[in-house]
A and B are shown apart, each in its own frame.
Chain A
Amino acid sequence: MATTMEVEVKKEPEDETSVEPLDKETLSAVLQFLKKNNLKATEELLKKEANLEAGSSNGTSTRSEQDVSSVLSAYQSEGDPSMYETNYKNLKHVIETALDSRKVEQTQLLYPVFVHMYLELVYNGHEGAAVNFFEAFRREQEDYHQDDLVQLSTVTKKEHMRHSELIMNLRSSKYVLRLSRDSYQSLKRQLQEKSNNIVLNILQEHLYIDVFDGMPRSKEQIEAASGGMCGEAKRKANKGKMSFGLLKEPDINLLLDDEEEGGEGEDKPKKKKVKRLDIKKSKPDPNAPAQNRIPLPEMRDVDKLEKILCFRELSKRVHLSPDLLPSVCFYTLLNANQGLISVEISDDSSLLAAGFADSNIRIWTLTPKKLRSIKPADVLQELEKEAEDVMERIMDERSSADCKLLVGHSGPVYSTSFSPDRNLLLSASGDGTVRLWNLYTFSTLVCYKGHNYPVWDVAFSPFGHYFVSCGKDRTARLWTTESHQPIRLFAGHYSDVTCVCFHPNSNYVATGSCDRMIKVWDILNGKCVRIMTGHKSTIQKVLFSPNGHFLTSAGEDSSVMLWGLRHSNLIAELKGHTECVYSLSFCRDGNVLASGGLDNSVRLWDVKKIFAEAESEDFTSAPQVQHNDSSKLSLGCYPTKSTTIHHLHFTRRNLLLAAGAFSSSS
């Protein structure tokens, strides 16, 4: 499946330029139509007459359906461009006079019908009529559709249609709407009574109406879910089971004791107890996937040591709550004015990587420990390998510095990611490649080529070994560090995939896209298991909660949304930011969420209560939209002078680190 998807995605507009003679195209369309309606005799006759072989009809059927449907619509609506306006008004009238409960639901139809009517007009060459129609009803559409409408308005000619990504999406895939059976039936009846053929045809050809039984949804519910480029998610898309629990912590008690000997101070015995308890307490999560569902790399001694250190730090953390707010340490990058694009801080908060527009990456150390590279190979050879301090001796003291420069990319560095052991760094760049850097030598190890278009984001798995990247080619790809080919390809977004994030159990990957949808993919089989719609603009950041049960997302529409993974429902929408939000971070116990972005402020949100409510809630059939007052959930807003917040990161002890570049002229 993945490969066919790839073919479809990779098919560029340029490749489709092979224009076939129109009559052949229409002929095949007619054949298709006949076949669909079981008019076999006519089909045979026509085939004979047109001298087409039987096989070729199969060939044409594989042609992307949008051509076919567009040709069909061209036939059906020929000659009366003026009908569109009356038909649209008619539809509006039908909806306006409907019962209140249905009216709200049926209003959803207006936008897709409007868009497709316009496109049909354009397709049929009625440019003037199309523009008039567009201007007449454009203002009536919802605010969050206006961005798309601006894009549509640029297209007024048939020849241009295939160049617009948005139109190709609208034509090639059906716009998804959810209607209750009641509303749908009554609407259809009324339209048929009034013989509103154009609208009915669009309903048939371009819309996918997901009919459900039960109460019609309220206005708020619809608003919360709408906004996607191609409508909402189909209900069945979110029915699959998802194992979003955390994996069992590895058993490292034995090692803990060893480590403790070397540890500091007198209160050793106490600590040991606490830690053992901690580990024992974590009983297996019922939602957790099988431990070996995704093969994870074997734990090395270094990893175990790291894990222990992490535990020790975590046990010392501040338990944040509305009464005990975190401190924020802000790392400002000076003299970087417009150059800084991405910032990343390693999980143990010791390293900071910054990607710049000039293709460079800089790494800073945030601790007194300097950055050192290892000695050249010929010197290393002479070292005694058995020596205890060999790790110390391989380091070249002369190279110690606070900041290291990584040069290699030939495009802006849009994202970086540290491996859990901090030996490796990944970087995604506008040159279409992902690079893997070694932080011992500060040089490139591998250059992963595959996206060919700018790579927007890259993220290491929490267990290392795997990483995922996403880019302008509308795919996300899963890689292992040791292979230069992706092992999974997640295709299905309608537009650029802008951000990506690993689930803490490493079994899933979440992606956010320009098509305003969030998708969660299963790594095992590459299938999409969750789709969330509701954002009204490009999504710039997705993040799983530390316990893995929730997802948060933010983007250009300046709101932060919280989703439950169990039912893929919106838990809360946090409003407060005034401009695009680029960065999100959960505190280590998951009680406080920090967000920051272009409006130069860091905001803190109390999410403990709403998460607890969402967990305990007995789930009813219709997804509930919680009406949470974002001002009540807001814990604070801390503005900077003129520094965009590029990255937020909670240290293991729950100190919030923020980073951004100071821009002197706002």
Chain B
Amino acid sequence: MADPKIERKVSILSHESMKVIGESVGLASLPDEASYVLAEDATFRLKLLVQEAVKFMQKAKRRKLSSSDFDFALQDQNVEPLYGLSVPDSIPFRFTSGGGRELHFIEEKDFDLTEMISSPLPKVPLDVALKAHWLCVEGVQPAIPENPPPVDQEEQKVESTRATTHQKPIINPKQDKESEKDRVVTLLNKAKEVAKEVKRTKDILSHELSVEQQLYYKEITEACVGSSEPKRAQALQSLASDSGLYQMLPRFSSFISEGVRVNVVQSNLALLIYLMRMVKALMDNPTLYLEKYLHEIIPAVMTCIVSKQLCLRPDIDNHWALRDFAARLMASICKKFSTSTNNIQARVSKTFDKSLSVEYAPLPTIYGAFAGLSELGPEVIKAIVLPKLKPLSERIKNVRESSLSSNFDKIAAEHLKSLVLKQCSPYLKQARTGPDTPDAYIEDFGSIGSALCNQVQKLRSQPGLTANKPTIQIPPPRQSPLSSGPRTPNSASPVSRTQSGGSRGSMPRSVSVPGGPTTPTGKQTKFIVMSSIPQNSKSSTASVST
């Protein structure tokens, strides 16, 4: 309920509006006194009408008062309702002022008839349909898409913050049968108990999955890392939208973590990408709260960003896209879960910073760290990235110019350069004012300065850039054909690493245009990295054409 005093003052029609309305019906000069009396009377009547309209709203079982309710209230008082005001959502009044008057009016747009006639007909609205589902079966609410998730994010959040340690969820089969509220209460009580009696041994963690859940887990993991792209899309869709996954989350989390560990060793790029897409799908699921599994997920994602080697042919394969994708993923994890207690963002950026600071760190690692940092936002770019630019540009320059450096290194340097250009220039455009002179940039950022300056100038000249999603093409890895089915973490054995320089030198330097490296292999798998972050078309490093 509103404060009465505020209510009194706000909700009285002004006498000026009475005058305006008077004018509109032909009363040229309404005396002041009359307008005051009218304003009060009109206010009272309006309030009465609203009170009546509320009854119609309640009977229509709605929370919001609609203009039709008001019409009914008018009708009830034997007043002609206002025609043409039945808008579905908000009130169609616009405000304007001019000539010392302030006015509200109804915006009426002109419609071009020819255009309306020639345009295709709008879709016919769907007819009302009746659909049945089980809200509850003998007192237990089944976890089906029609029902809300058994434990929603907020409660999972509460639970994870209340738990004393990085404890995995204690889910007893008994609790499943209890109602949702009871479950939360018991969990809370449990958390309290744990806090109180530290001595007492913890409950044995039991993750009993039903047969259906086990089947589901198997199907989903197989589809996620299998060879069939449509199946994978379906599986990821399921991970991103299904509501009953809460109990399986620990399994998925360790699947991902183990999978990354094994496949990094094996340099199996495709599988790493699939796993990252799984992380993304789980992140997108509105019913899951991943906080308790971050200790497994963050290292996995981190590995995919900064690992020295992610694929067997670093000169040809597009592991850069994986690094970009994982970096974005990391940024969204930080955004979602970072709090003052867990300090995720600070810890993550420190890790990146460390790998940037290491002298003679491999270029892919630097690339990954750089990508990870720059995704974290302008503040991080300003504080960590920019100071590092000068030594970085020196290194890039050295690699590019030195005849000793390998072809792979050169490609890496090229990538790094375009990444710097892409990520730093929007920030610089904001942060730096005045004319962009190459000299000033070179002064500040080393040899990369001139290119940066160019880029910033370009950005300034074309403000609105269209966003598009990058398309990556990744050649299938040689050693592990995708058709060989899913890899379970246990079955995979470590394989000795192939040296990064092993297959270099097949590509002339002139080919590597800023658009990105080309991959000469004919057989290619094409996929689209699901990404919600808009990319600048100009500088998307990932698009590749054959």
Contacts and interface: CB of A to CB of B under 8 A. Distances in A.
Interface string B137-161: 1110100001110000000000000
Contact of B4 (A138, A163, A403): A138
Interface stretch (A221-229, A303-311, A327-335): A327-335
B78 A341 contact: no
B128 A336 contact: yes
Interface string B21-52: 00000000000000000001101110110010
Contact of A330 (B58, B62, B72, B134): B134
Interface in B143-197: 146-148, 179-181
Contacts of A658: 135
Interface in B52-92: 55-56, 58-63, 66, 68, 72, 76, 78
A155 B7 CA distance: 13
A367 to B, nearest CB: 12
A160 B55 CA distance: 20
A357 B68 contact: yes
Given A325-B139, A335-B129, A639-B148, A454 B181 contact: no
Contact of A646 (B61, B129, B133): B61
A454 B62 CA distance: 17
B51 A327 contact: no
Contacts of A412: 59-60, 72
B523 interface: no
B148 A640 contact: yes
Interface string A331-356: 11111101111000000000010101
Contacts of B59: 341, 412, 414, 454, 456, 498
Nearest to B126: A335
Nearest to A415: B59
Given A135-B5, A331-B130, A364-B130, A638 B135 contact: yes
Given A341-B59, A640-B147, A646-B61, A327 B134 contact: yes
A658 B133 CA distance: 10
Contact of A638 (B7, B68, B132, B141): B141
B44 A327 contact: no
A430 B60 CA distance: 10
Contacts of B72: 411-412, 430, 454
Interface string A274-290: 00000000000000000
A163 B48 contact: yes
Interface in B110-138: 125-138
B61 A333 contact: no
Given A324-B138, A639-B148, A332 B131 contact: yes
B211 interface: no
Tell me what chain A mostly uses at the interface: helix, strand, loop, or mixed. Answer: mixed
B1 A150 contact: yes
B179 A333 contact: no
Nearest to B128: A336
Interface string A234-252: 0000000000000000000
A454 B60 CA distance: 12
Contacts of B43: 154
B133 A335 contact: no
A414 B58 CA distance: 11
Contact of B78 (A14, A403, A639, A644): A14
B131 A331 contact: yes
Given A327-B134, A640-B148, A641-B146, A556 B126 contact: no
A357 B56 CA distance: 11
Contacts of A327: 134, 136-138
Given A324-B138, A638-B141, A646-B61, A330 B148 contact: no
A472 interface: yes
B131 A325 contact: no
B131 A334 contact: yes
A32 B45 CA distance: 33
A538 interface: yes
A64 interface: no
A86 interface: no
A580 B63 CA distance: 9
Interface in B359-417: none
Tell me what chain B mostly uses at the interface: helix, strand, loop, or mixed. Answer: mixed
A636 B130 contact: no
A454 B76 contact: yes
A335 B128 contact: yes
A157 B63 contact: no
A14 to B, nearest CB: 7
A331 B132 contact: yes
A362 B4 CA distance: 44
A258 B409 CA distance: 95
A658 B147 CA distance: 13
A335 B125 contact: yes
Given A155-B44, A163-B48, A330 B133 contact: yes
A326 B138 contact: yes
A190 interface: no
Contact of B127 (A151, A335, A456): A335
A637 B181 contact: yes
A164 interface: yes
A33 interface: no
Contacts of B128: 333-336, 339-340, 354, 356, 362
Contacts of B7: 153
A328 B126 contact: no
Given A335-B127, A454-B76, A146 B179 contact: no
A541 to B, nearest CB: 11
A655 B45 CA distance: 49
A31 interface: no
Contact of A352 (B4, B8, B130): B130
Given A333-B129, A638-B141, A164 B55 contact: no
Interface string A311-330: 00000000000001111111
A651 to B, nearest CB: 13
B136 A638 contact: yes
Given A335-B127, A403-B130, A514-B55, A325 B4 contact: no
B78 A582 contact: no
B58 A154 contact: no
Contacts of B181: 637
A453 interface: yes
A332 B44 contact: no
A414 B76 CA distance: 16
Contacts of A602: 135-136
Contacts of B45: 163
A436 interface: no
Interface in B240-275: none
A17 to B, nearest CB: 13
A68 B68 CA distance: 39
Interface string A588-614: 000000000010001010000000000
A641 B133 contact: no
Given A335-B126, A339-B128, A472-B76, A635 B4 contact: no
A332 B55 contact: no
Contact of A582 (B4, B56, B61): B61
B411 to A, nearest CB: 49
A332 B133 contact: yes
Contact of B132 (A131, A153, A157, A329): A329
Contacts of B41: 159-160
A70 interface: no
Contact of B147 (A339, A352, A641): A641
19 contacts: A135-B5, A138-B4, A160-B44, A326-B136, A328-B135, A333-B130, A334-B129, A335-B125, A335-B126, A362-B128, A412-B72, A472-B55, A498-B59, A538-B58, A556-B58, A580-B61, A598-B63, A641-B148, A644-B61
The 7 closest A-B pairs by CB, nearest first: A325-B139, A328-B135, A330-B135, A154-B47, A328-B136, A335-B126, A638-B136
Given A154-B44, A160-B44, 15 more contacts: A14-B78, A153-B8, A157-B44, A324-B138, A324-B139, A326-B136, A330-B134, A331-B130, A340-B128, A341-B60, A414-B60, A538-B55, A540-B58, A638-B179, A641-B148
